[in-house]
Amino acid sequence: MIGNLIIISSPSGGGKGTLIREIFKTLDKISYSISYTTRTKREGEVDGRDYFFISQGEFSQLIDSGEFLEYAEVHGNFYGTSLRQVEAETGLGRDIILEIDVQGAHAVLAKKPDAISIFILPPSFEILRQRLTDRGTEKKKDLELRLKNSFQEVSSYKFFQYVVINREIQSASNELKTIILAERLRSIRQTEAIQDILNSFDVS
Ligand code: 5GP
């Protein structure tokens, strides 16, 4: 069985990283796409776990060699999703989460219309600002750019199939998990298992 592509977008500071870590504690057959980025590594981030941190030149080479399912410039840095990683994980029957921006979500949906798309919406602008400030990972200039970009990002919610409002980590992660589990139960995604059962009803 082929795994699903699950696109998760939110403005920076929307809390998608925390929610995703939370669902990994209890969901099986799920993996995470580790993007390539030209952004500088933050304190505490690990190369190959959070991102593959590469130079602009290396990023251009990966574009040329067709490595990316999609890539985009976000807040002044480049980010890209590895097609190879996505195919390897889904080929093993595991769902893969793509934590990408809205431009990337559009690009993936154009190529993979079966992908599941989820938008994580912060409960208010004030709370987003507070969360981003508390995170303390950005310099003032980068923080302001992310807040400015959040206006356009939140209005993109309508392009996504699902919206999870991240008021509180436990209920929001439960909602996220519920979406993923329900999508796995779509009849179209269970054709092989269903066929095996139907075959057992064939008494001829
Ligand atoms: P951050 O620098 O805070 O880790 O991420 C900034 C933004 O880039 C976030 O909205 C994140 O979802 C997005 N992003 C991370 N990886 C990718 C990717 O591979 N492709 C695209 N299009 N966006 C990404």
Task: Tell me the pLDDT of the chain (204 aa) as tens digits.
Answer: 899 999 999 998 778 888 999 999 999 999 999 999 999 999 899 999 999 999 999 999 999 999 999 999 999 999 999 999 999 999 999 999 999 999 999 999 999 999 999 999 999 999 999 998 988 888 888 899 999 999 999 999 999 999 999 999 999 999 999 999 999 999 999 999 999 999 999 866
Beta strands in the chain (DSSP E): 5-9, 30-32, 36-37, 52-53, 68-74, 77-82, 95-99, 116-121, 162-165
Q: Whose CA is nearest to atom 11 of ligand 1?
A: 100
Q: What is the pLDDT of residue 204?
A: 63
Look up residue 190 and give its amino acid.
Q
Look up residue 52 and give its amino acid.
F
Q: Could you tell me if the CB of 101 is within 6 A of ligand 1?
A: yes
Between CA 120 and CA 11 the distance in angstroms is 8
Look up residue 41 and give its amino acid.
K
Q: What is the pLDDT of residue 136?
A: 83
- Whether 127 contacts 11, CB under 8 Å: no
Q: Could you tell me if the CB of 80 is within 6 A of ligand 1?
A: yes
CA count, 13 A, side-chain hemisphere, 94: 17
* Sign of the Cα pseudo-torsion (169, 171, 172, 176, in order): positive
Q: Whose CA is nearest to atom 12 of ligand 1?
A: 100
| 188 CA distance to ligand 1 middle (Å) | 30
Q: What is the pLDDT of residue 14?
A: 77
Of 33, 101, 145, the one to substitute when testing ligand 1's pocket (max ligand atoms within 8 A of C-beta) is 101
Of 49, 69, 99, 139, the one to substitute when testing ligand 1's pocket (max ligand atoms within 8 A of C-beta) is 99
- What distance separates the 2 farthest-apart alpha carbons in the chain? 73
Q: Whose CA is nearest to atom 15 of ligand 1?
A: 100
Of 45, 100, 154, the one to substitute when testing ligand 1's pocket (max ligand atoms within 8 A of C-beta) is 100
Between CA 56 and CA 48 the distance in angstroms is 17
Q: What is the pLDDT of residue 203?
A: 66
Q: Whose CA is nearest to atom 1 of ligand 1?
A: 12
pTM: 0.95
CA 132 to chain centre: 19
Q: Whose CA is nearest to atom 10 of ligand 1?
A: 101
Q: What is the pLDDT of residue 24?
A: 95
Q: Could you tell me if the CB of 95 is within 6 A of ligand 1?
A: no
- Whether 159 contacts 105, CB under 8 Å: yes
Between CA 88 and CA 90 the distance in angstroms is 6
